[in-house]
Amino acid sequence: MTSRKQQLLQRHRQRKRFFLLAAVLLLAALAIFVAWWLLPVLLLCAWVAHEAWFADHLFYSPQEDYQYAFPAGTARQSVTLSDGRVQLSAPLAAGETLLIELHLRSTVLGRCLDPHVVLGDDRQDFERGVRGRRYLNLSGQAAALASGQLSICGRFCRLPATATLYVLDNPDYAQRRMMIIAPHADDAELAAFGLYSGAALAAEAGQGAQLSIVTLTQGEIEADRYRCLGLDAAAAARLKGRLRTWDSLAVPLWGGVPQSRCVHLGYYCLQLPAMLAEPERPWPSRESGEADVRSARAHNPFPLPADADGLPCGNNLLADLVALLEQFRPEVVVMPHPELDPHADHVAGAQALLQAVERSSWKPEIGLLYANHLHDNDRWPMGPAGQGIALPPALAPLPPDALWSPCLSDAVQLDKAMALAMQHDLQGRLPFKKRLRRAIQKRLAARQWPASGENEFFRKAVRRHELFWVRRLDRPRLAAPRHVRVGIADSPPAASV
Report residue 460 CA to chain centroid gap.
8
In the prediction, which pLDDT does 9 show?
60
CA dist 189 and 193 (Å) reads 4
In the prediction, which pLDDT does 204 show?
84
In the prediction, which pLDDT does 494 show?
37
- What distance separates the 2 farthest-apart alpha carbons in the chain? 80
- The rounded average pLDDT for each run of 10 residues, N- to C-terminus, in the chain (497 residues) is 56 65 68 68 84 88 95 97 96 97 97 96 97 98 97 98 98 96 98 96 84 98 95 98 98 96 98 98 97 97 98 98 98 96 96 97 97 93 98 93 98 98 96 96 96 97 98 68 36 39
In the prediction, which pLDDT does 5 show?
53
CATH of domain 173-371+467-472: 3.40.50.10320
In the prediction, which pLDDT does 17 show?
66
What is the full DSSP assignment across 148-186?
T--BEEEESEE--SEEEEEEE----GGGS-EEEEESSTT
In the prediction, which pLDDT does 396 show?
86
Residues listed for the chain:
497
CA dist 97 and 173 (Å) reads 13
What is the full DSSP assignment across 259-314?
GGGEEEEEE-TT-HHHHHHSTTS----SSS----GGGG-TT-SS--GGGGT----H
CA dist 264 and 445 (Å) reads 42
Q: Which amino acid is at 239?
A: L
Nearest to 261 by CA among 309, 312, 197, 318: 197
Contacts of 341 (CB under 8 A, 6+ apart): 347, 350, 370, 371, 372, 373, 374, 487, 489
Quick one: three-class SS letters along 308-376? HCCCCCHHHHHHHHHHHHHHHCCCEEEEECCCCCCCHHHHHHHHHHHHHHHHCCCCCCEEEEECCCCCC
CB neighbourhood size of 361 (10 A): 8
CA dist 390 and 383 (Å) reads 10
In the prediction, which pLDDT does 490 show?
35
Q: pTM of the entire structure?
A: 0.90
Domain boundaries, given as residue ranges, for the chain = 3-53, 75-168, 173-371+467-472
In the prediction, which pLDDT does 208 show?
77
Judge: domain 75-168, CATH 3.90.960. Answer: no
In the prediction, which pLDDT does 205 show?
82
In the prediction, which pLDDT does 115 show?
98
Report residue 320 CA to chain centroid gap.
26
